[in-house]
C-alpha cells in the first residue's frame, strides 16, 4: 500500500503532466552535471527563441556550462536575463531545440512549475 507521501507525489506528477511537463529518466541524467539521488529532471516544450545552452546554478548565480561560444551570441544577455528569473530550487537548465530540461529538488508546487513555463513563453 503506497504511503500518503507517495500518493501526494503521484498526484502532483499527474497534474504536472497535464500541464505539459514530463519527468525524464535515464536519457537525460548523464547530461546534468549535478544529478544526484533525490533530484528530478523535468522537461517542457521550448517555445522560447533560445535553442541551446546548459546553465548551472553555482554560488548564488547562473553560469554558462556549454557551449562557451554562446557567450559571443548577440542574444546572450537576453538569455541570461531569462535564466535569472528561474526560482531557486532549480539547479541546472538545458535548452534544447524542442524542449527545456531542468534539474531540481522536486517541490509539490504546481504554481512554481507554471511560473517556470511562463518565463520561457
Q: What is the pLDDT along the chain (121 residues), one digit of tens a residue?
A: 889 989 999 999 999 999 999 998 778 898 999 999 889 999 999 998 889 999 999 888 899 999 989 999 898 998 889 899 998 889 999 999 999 999 999 888 999 999 999 988 7
Predicted local distance difference test score (pLDDT) of residue 57: 94
Which residue range is the domain that position 110 belongs to?
Answer: 4-119
Among the listed residues 69, 95, 72, 91, the one whose alpha carbon sits nearest the alpha carbon of residue 82: 95
Predicted local distance difference test score (pLDDT) of residue 60: 86
- Output the DSSP codes for the chain: ---HHHHHHHHHHHHHHHTT-EE--HHHHTT-TT--TT-EEEEEE--SS---EEEEEETTEEEEEE-GGGGGSTTHHHHHHHHTTS-TTEEEEEE-SSEEEEEE---S-HHHHHHHHHHT-
Predicted local distance difference test score (pLDDT) of residue 88: 84
Predicted local distance difference test score (pLDDT) of residue 99: 94
pTM of the model: 0.91
Tally of domains within the chain? 1
Among the listed residues 29, 37, 14, the one whose alpha carbon sits nearest the alpha carbon of residue 101: 29
Contact assessment for residue 89 and residue 104, using Cβ atoms and an 8 Å cutoff = yes
Amino acid at each position: 500500500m503506497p504511503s500518503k507521501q507517495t500518493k501526494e507525489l503521484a498526484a502532483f506528477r499527474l497534474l504536472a503532466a497535464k500541464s505539459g511537463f514530463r519527468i525524464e529518466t535515464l536519457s537525460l541524467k548523464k547530461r546534468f552535471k549535478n544529478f544526484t539521488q533525490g533530484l528530478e529532471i523535468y522537461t517542457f516544450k521550448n517555445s522560447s527563441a533560445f535553442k541551446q545552452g546548459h546553465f548551472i546554478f553555482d554560488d548564488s548565480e547562473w553560469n554558462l556550462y556549454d557551449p562557451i561560444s554562446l557567450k559571443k551570441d548577440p542574444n546572450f544577455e537576453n538569455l541570461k536575463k531569462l535564466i535569472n528569473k528561474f526560482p531557486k530550487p532549480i539547479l541546472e537548465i538545458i535548452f534544447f531545440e524542442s524542449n527545456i530540461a531542468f534539474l531540481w529538488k522536486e517541490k509539490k508546487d504546481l504554481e512554481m512549475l507554471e511560473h517556470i513555463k511562463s518565463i520561457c513563453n
